[in-house]
Structure 1
Amino acid sequence: MVQSRARYLLNNTLIFALSNIGTKLITFFLVPLYTYTLTAAEYGVADLVTTITFVLAPILTLNLAESVARFPLDEDADAGKIMTVGAIVLVLSSVVGLLIMPVSQLFESVADYAVLIYLYCIATSAFTMLQCFLRGTEKLRAMAVSNILNTALTALLNILFLVVLGWGVSGYLLAYIVAMFASSVFAAISGGLVKYLRHPVVDRELARQMIRYSVVLIPNTFMWWIINSSSRVVVAALIGSAANGMLAVSYKLPSIVTVVSNTFTQAWTYSAIHEDASEDRDRFTSTVFDKMLTVLGLVTVLLLANIKWLTALYVAPAYVEAWHYSAWLLAGNLMLTLGTFLATPYSVHKDSKGMLLSGMMGAVMNVVVMLVLVPFARLTGSVVATFASYAAVCLFRFFHTKKYVGIHVRLRRHAPMIISVALLVCSSTWFDGLYTPIAVACTVATCASYWRTFKAALNAIVLRFAR
């Protein structure tokens, strides 16, 4: 039983890894192309459009992608009826979304890109909906291929539009739009969408349940926009587009960690649904959480210890100072990953209100800290606010989800890693001259504290292959 559920989790993790890690790495390696072909101000505008889309897309579709991903996982689910509701909402959102164009033209910074913002929103909505449908029906391989196709097309079109044709911000946005539309067509075909919609049946009760579940998560999406992206809007308004471009670059390396960790937490959701009724659910969940924290903590320390030269390696010289801000975001992503894992019981029990409450906690923390720090700490204040909000969400979910599952955390074992992260982040901001010796000491301390764990894991792998 233990082996079978561990294998199920591992197989899903590998599929999500194929889907997410490769795609994010390509995006990561496109950063030098962006920083050399776009000025900081242009990159700031492009990132601002992406940030706006993050909010508009789920509002337009009533956030129904969340229901399309979750409802098919129930034993008595009818995938055809579920996707029919999703398709109807998607068509209606494309019509309502036309209002985006006149509204966008009211804002000088993005007025020239009104049509592209609309197309970006619709492309994002369609791609997200279809990806979630593939996830919900557990066609994970098709989802992975669709993601890879999307990223490959994005990379090729960015090179064509930015380097060859020199279309600037418009080329940046158009590359993403074309790639997502093309990948949506592939996802629809590989997922058998025509088969599901050939004889559509509108189940009003199902539609009501799906909308009720997803609509509650719209404010949650907005809360996460406040946590993840509002800082970019505030920075652009108070400091300028160039500073926002610097902030956008500082997110790139931490986002790699987020994608890698999300690969596991996405796969864990499927296991958590299957494990909910098991007798040793709490013990199994605690074991998985402990192993995840060990790996993620070590990776975070190693990246923090080397972030200065890593940043200098892959960005233009004008953006090198972004490493100071990336350090806070790396620490924040550690908290974000733990919080995402702890949110799994909400998905298992369809508790969208719990999602909303935890999102509100993080959003309030983000706004308060940002208003206090950004006016005088500038970009540092922004990333500190992001870290504080992720930490608030993580702590809230740890205690709030105890009604569903009890997770035991071995704090003493993880103490050297936690202290190392704190020291590295603080030294990157306030004690730059001591950064190198602190980085060496923290790396040694963290590796030593986890040595027995990794030695046992290595021995287990050797024994397995020796059989």
Structure 2
Amino acid sequence: MNKYKRLMGNSVIFAIGNLGSKLMQFIMIPLYSYTLTTSEYGKVDFLTTVISLILPILSVDIFDAVFRYALDKTDNNKVTFNTSILFSLAITVISFIIAILLQLSIHTYPIMYAEYVLVASLFFSLISNYARAVNKIKEFAIAGIINSIAMGLLNFALLYFLNWKMDGYLLSMGSGMLFAVIYIMFACHFWNELDFRSYSWQKLKVMLKYSTPLVPNLLAWWLNSASDRMFILLFIGASANGIYAMASKIPNILSTLMTIFLQSWQISVVEEYDSEHGKRFITNVFQVFTTAVFVIAIGILTFLKPIFHLLVSPAYFIGWQVAPFLLLSIIYSNAASFLGTIYTATKKTVPIMYTTVIGAIVNIVLSIVIIPFIGIYGAAIANIFSFALVSFFRFKDIIKANKISIKLGQFILLHILFIIVLLANFLSKNNILPISSGLISLLIIAVIDPNFKRVISIIKSRNVNLN
């Protein structure tokens, strides 16, 4: 029972740390939609998408290696910390030189502001992962709050009052993370651990041996989850990408909530993987996780149109039509992420890589074929198929390892109810049918699916029995 309590308790703390910035971005949707044109938002989304691609490649995903090795009680954390910091500083110098050269030749995009976000993201990922691994959970949560408040205030100041457009958007994002890094360094006394004499070339090689196979995986994952922006930009244009990016903001609520849980789960699965009841633990958590994903997704679908009416300007409203398909792709991507953490427990990262690569290839092929014909819908559909395939291969592999099982009836029921509410949104010209079908679907899940009560208990932060 204690392991379940700890998992849920950590999830609540990680929620405090992560929900702030994500919630702030959600709150900022009206500000973004009224201060940035669809073309401007399409361009700035393109830059942040490229940053998410470049970051793990330049850093060789060092921040994930820091988390995994600092989590080991036998590891010398001071050596791990200083080795990763010095490596990241070298990466910063290299990226800064590249950014200057790019800015000299590209004048339509704020490259140097994007470089600022890249460096801030690198050190925020590194320091926050280290804080999580050494059990500085409270400080991690407070840093998330600082990040969100700083980003929100700067967004209003730079976008609404100063009208800095794309520059203001990127400056706000980078500064929020930078303030959070400064807080963690002081609050956790990590400044006292800084000693570059503790740098170890041998430790760096060990860490990179762990993280290097994750880079192709992250690249492939980026192709699965973010390359759609590139193809939309290529085939349709920046305005269409802006609408698509804005449409993804609301479905990303689901992704944000599940990412918070997965951060806590990543710790628990490492601790319980080889235990006597490891398979039952993983299976039970996965079933509750699946129900929670669909309940939240159906809840968003139920009030999708009113949410779009309330939050976005008329120029972006058409994006609601692609949002249901983005929701389904996020469901599958979260399932794939959950299963991917199980590989992390064994430090065997190669299977993560090849399953993601398969999905990426499918995504690229479908995007190239479909997007020119059906536009932004094609991008969402390509994501659905690719993430579903990744989830399938990972699940099949983990079943062979005898570490998980599945209740097929639960999966089928949840899919049927989701599709019903999806169709209701397109078949109805008003909000009556989507809302009524959504509420009925949630009621059916509450009555039939035993995991629903566990989901409600988690939301209320009560003790949960998953046995």
TM-score normalised by structure 1 residue count: 0.92
Query: For residue 342 of structure 1, what is the amino acid of its counterpart?
Result: L
Percent identical pairs in the alignment equals 25
The residue number in structure 1 matching 2:212 is 215
Taking the aligned partners of 2:417 and 2:348, their CA distance within structure 1 comes to 35
Distance 1:190 1:369, change over 3 A: same
The residue number in structure 1 matching 2:77 is 79
Matched, 1:12 2:10: yes
Taking the aligned partners of 1:464 and 1:402, their CA distance within structure 2 comes to 29
The residue number in structure 1 matching 2:310 is 313
Query: For residue 417 of structure 2, what is the amino acid of its counterpart?
Result: S
Unaligned runs of 5+ in 1: none
Query: For residue 447 of structure 1, what is the amino acid of its counterpart?
Result: L
Shift of 1:115: 1.7
Shift of 1:401: 2.2
Q: CA contact under 8 A between 2:445 and 2:452: conserved in structure 1?
A: no
1:47-196 equivalences under 5 Å are 47-97=45-95, 98-107=97-106, 109-110=108-109, 113-196=110-193
Q: CA contact under 8 A between 1:61 and 1:90: conserved in structure 2?
A: yes
Distance 1:456 1:386, change over 3 A: closer
Matched, 1:35 2:33: yes
Distance 1:436 1:377, change over 3 A: farther
Unaligned runs of 5+ in 2: none
**Higher deviation after alignment, 122-131 or 96-105:** 96-105
Matched, 1:451 2:450: no
Shift of 1:432: 5.4
Which structure carries more relative contact order (alpha carbon 8 Å, separation 6+)? Answer: 2
RMSD over aligned Cα, in angstroms?
2.4
The residue number in structure 2 matching 1:343 is 340
The residue number in structure 2 matching 1:441 is 437
Taking the aligned partners of 2:463 and 2:226, their CA distance within structure 1 comes to 45
Distance 1:363 1:428, change over 3 A: farther
Query: For residue 220 of structure 2, what is the amino acid of its counterpart?
Result: M
Equivalent of 2:44, from 35, 46, 70?
A: 46
**Higher deviation after alignment, 295-304 or 235-244:** 295-304
Shift of 1:402: 2.8
Distance 1:268 1:240, change over 3 A: same
Shift of 1:87: 0.8
Shift of 1:77: 1.2
How many correspondences in the alignment? 460
**Higher deviation after alignment, 298-307 or 83-92:** 298-307
Query: For residue 451 of structure 1, what is the amino acid of its counterpart?
Result: V
Shift of 1:449: 3.7
Q: CA contact under 8 A between 2:335 and 2:391: conserved in structure 1?
A: yes
Query: For residue 363 of structure 1, what is the amino acid of its counterpart?
Result: A
Q: Deviations over 1:53-112 (max 9, x none)?
A: 1112222222101101111111201110101111111110111112122135444542xx
Distance 1:459 1:254, change over 3 A: closer
Q: CA contact under 8 A between 1:416 and 1:445: conserved in structure 2?
A: no
Distance 1:173 1:42, change over 3 A: same
Q: CA contact under 8 A between 1:73 and 1:136: conserved in structure 2?
A: yes
Q: Deviations over 1:400-436 (max 9, x none)?
A: 223444322212134222112234445656x455985
Taking the aligned partners of 1:315 and 1:79, their CA distance within structure 2 comes to 46
Equivalent of 2:394, from 397, 401, 408?
A: 397
Distance 1:84 1:177, change over 3 A: same
TM-score normalised by structure 2 residue count: 0.92
Shift of 1:182: 2.0
Q: CA contact under 8 A between 1:67 and 1:213: conserved in structure 2?
A: yes
Distance 1:405 1:250, change over 3 A: farther
Q: Deviations over 1:262-285 (max 9, x none)?
A: 111111111111112211111121
Q: Partner of 1:115: helix, strand, or coil?
A: helix
Q: CA contact under 8 A between 2:288 and 2:451: conserved in structure 1?
A: no
Query: For residue 103 of structure 1, what is the amino acid of its counterpart?
Result: L
The residue number in structure 1 matching 2:363 is 366
